[in-house]
Amino acid sequence: METASHIQDLREKLERWNYEYYVQSAPTVSDFEFDQAMAELKRLEDAYPQYADPNSPTQRVGSDLSNDFRQIPHRWPMLSLGNTYSAEEVGDFYHRVERALNGEAFDIVAELKYDGTSISLTYEQGRLVRAVTRGDGEKGDDITANARTIRNIPMVLHGDFPADFEMRGEVLMPWKVFDELNAQREREEEPLFANPRNAASGSIKLQNSSQVAKRRLECYLYYMLGDELPADTHYACLQEARTYGFPISDAVRLCHSLQEVMDFIQYWDTARKQLPVATDGIVLKVNSLDQQRRLGFTAKSPRWAIAYKFQAERALTRLNSVSYQVGRTGAVTPVANLDPVLLSGTIVKRATLHNADIIEGLDLYIGDQVYVEKGGEIIPKITGVDLDARLLVGDKVRFIRTCPECGTPLVRAEGEAAWYCPNDTACPPQIKGRMIHFVSRKAMNIDGLGEETIDLLYSRGLASNVADLYDLTLPQLASLDRLGDKSGRRILRSLEKSREVPFERVLFALGIRYVGASVAKILARTLGSIEALASADRAGLTAIDEIGESIADSVTEYFAQAKHLELIARLKAYGLQFACEISDEPRTGPLSGKTIVISGVFARHSREEYKQMIERLGGRNAGSISAKTSFVLAGENMGPAKAEKALALGVPLMSEDEFLKNISS
């Protein structure tokens, strides 16, 4: 019993410290003391499994086990709110409530509308028993294991709480975490999340809760439901919930008039830009729970609440210069360098200009005051120029004609927007970019060879192409800054293991233009060997399903160059896989015979997971839309060119939810 008591004491202490750190932002112990207590609790729970508890603070790290989500009906429907976009519409809502209550006095609770993904938390006897997504409003996915990993969601309450009740709120990814995650995904050549909402939604639905824990999600709760609530007003319930340990925002105001509502909206339209998480509006709710019941609901939303949506966030700042980046394929991308400006919770100093056509269309001059938007975009972009502020500006911005890295004249293929540096043998960013691509997780997956290490190897003259990596020795690696003997051995082990990587991924790792992971898989499984691919002509390649003229031209051009054949010969000598069995078995499954293009950013699964899902179910992935495409699996931020092509060819678009519903049925 003494051990059980000590375990319980540790759990209560850690829960209190979690609350102080994540909810009150007022920690009372050092990180070291917290970690020591957590380690002791973990040791005791491992030694005495009879005292295991799913609500223990140690469970916040998440489990490695897969947890396919089961659907759970909502006790009370989770409806969406009606939206307004102007002060006049807010006034209309206020007066509708006034009329419906026959002039009876009422108050409005004004809150920030957090831009995340909705969650419902059920507590029984002060313990978290269930966490469910919004779903279709009537039922949602059980994500309890994942919710336990969110640090500021209390698993055990304190104070005088109801025996059985529900808290609703929003799961969010802070701007800082979002930017770090996208930077990591960019390094690993994963599709970037469009915004923190998508990132939070996708993270909370991951099948591995240990991965959810790494996403450092947060939660803000804003509504309490139950048969026996602690108060008869919404505002008082929120204040009580705060005493139980719930993360309730400080940005909640009890308004006694329409003017106070307007003052709240006006204040937060500016002040929200300083917040660490994304917001997209204000939520207004009638305070009295009795009045809420009397006002009731429409088919889709409550009559006692409404959401006011902010305009898309835009900032005005000075264009100081334009720099140019060279990618591994030689594509040159212009980047605007700006006076620092706060936008959507982060300081923006740079914005993409995409290509020469965009620059020409904006008619930019150095010193212009430019409008920058982030909103739902992945990377800030310039959307316009304040012509009234164009005084004493500098030179007109014109796209460069020579490579900024090696001085080679740029080329532009007919029908393409991008300019390229053709000097792929001596242009440093291209050389290093190809090596970074080669070692990336989806290609050869060589552990320890990140961007900085590749840069060191290149600058020291130890590697100038991917084959050189297999010549590296332990003394060479151990002598590099920040590496040493241990890291060097890890890299060599990973290089050795990469000899087992299948042909299709080796082909993708070579970095042939237009040969992405899906195209590489098609080519490898159709032709079976690098020799067959190297000897294939344009007609033979275009005869392969999904291989168009651009891909065929790029492949034949690649193998026509002696330097590439020499590189492949070296890699073959090192034991890399350059052959596989030809797959001619008919595909079976509910997607059999269907060719599917994936475009955009998704919340429920990654693009790679959807590609695997399609293949598992008998379908075929394609990289471009054609008359043979069965449908496009369309996520958010789908490219406008693909959308237009699909419309022109009559190819249907299918949303993520529609796709998952179809394959599950």
**Angstrom distances, CA of residue 421 to CA of 139, 296, 464, 553, 634:** 54, 64, 18, 18, 32
Q: How confident is the model at residue 601 (pLDDT cuts 50, 70, 90)?
A: confident
Burial of 239 (0-12, 13-18, 19+ CB in 10 A): middle
Q: Find out whether 523 and 531 touch, Cβ atoms under 8 Å.
A: no
Tell the CATH topology of 313-421: OB fold (Dihydrolipoamide Acetyltransferase, E2P) (2.40.50)
Query: Choosing from 13, 42, 113, 642, which is the catalytic residue?
Result: 113
Average pLDDT, the chain: 86
How would you classify residue 482: left for phi > 0, otherwise alpha for psi between -120 and 50, otherwise beta?
left
Q: What is the pLDDT of residues 590-600, one digit of tens each?
A: 888 888 888 88
Q: What is the pLDDT of residues 484-500, one digit of tens each?
A: 888 899 999 999 999 99
pTM of the model: 0.57
Domain 2-61 sits in CATH 3.40.50.720: no
Helix (H) or strand (E) holding 219: strand 218-225
DSSP line for 578-639: -B-----PPP-STTTT-EEEEESB-SSS-HHHHHHHHHHTT-EEESS--TT--EEEE-BT--
Give the single-character DSSP code of 365. Answer: B
Q: What is the pLDDT of residues 310-324, one digit of tens each?
A: 876 778 999 999 999
Q: How confident is the model at residue 510 (pLDDT cuts 50, 70, 90)?
A: very high
Domain 595-664, CATH homologous superfamily name and number: BRCT domain (3.40.50.10190)
The better pLDDT of the pair 397, 210 is held by 397
| Residue with token string 């009295």 | 288
Beta bridge partners of 445: none
**Contact residues for 423 (Cβ-Cβ < 8 A; gap 6+):** 330, 403, 406, 408, 430
Q: How confident is the model at residue 63 (pLDDT cuts 50, 70, 90)?
A: very low
Burial 406-441 (b: 16+ CB within 10 A, else e): eebebeeeeeeebbbbebbeebebbbbbbbbbbbbe
Please give the backbone phi and psi of residue 26, each rounded to the nearest 5 degrees, phi first.
Answer: -140, 70
Nearest to residue 132, comparing CAs of 74, 184, 76? 74
Q: Which CATH number fits domain 428-573: 1.10.1520.10, 3.30.1370.60, 1.10.150.20, 3.40.50.10360?
A: 1.10.150.20
Q: What is the pLDDT of residues 95-149, one digit of tens each?
A: 999 999 998 999 999 999 998 889 999 999 999 999 999 887 888 889 999 999 9
* Tokens encoding 285: 């709710």
Nearest to residue 456, comparing CAs of 472, 445, 443, 441? 472
Question: For residue 230, what pLDDT is reported?
Answer: 95
**Is residue 26's pLDDT more than 70?**
no
**Is there a catalytic annotation at residue 442?**
no
**Is residue 31's pLDDT more than 60?**
no
Nearest to residue 155, comparing CAs of 244, 239, 71? 244
Q: How confident is the model at residue 628 (pLDDT cuts 50, 70, 90)?
A: confident
Which of 2-6, 196-200, 357-361, 374-378 bottoms out in mean pLDDT, i.e. has the lowest?
Answer: 374-378
Domain 71-309 sits in CATH 3.30.470.30: yes
What's the average model confidence in pLDDT over 189-205? 78
Domain range list for the chain = 2-61, 71-309, 313-421, 428-573, 595-664
Cβ atoms < 10 Å from Cβ of 568: 20
**Angstrom distances, CA of residue 71 to CA of 207, 295, 329:** 14, 30, 45
Query: Rounded to 5 degrees, what angle do the CA atoms 516, 522, 525 make?
Result: 130
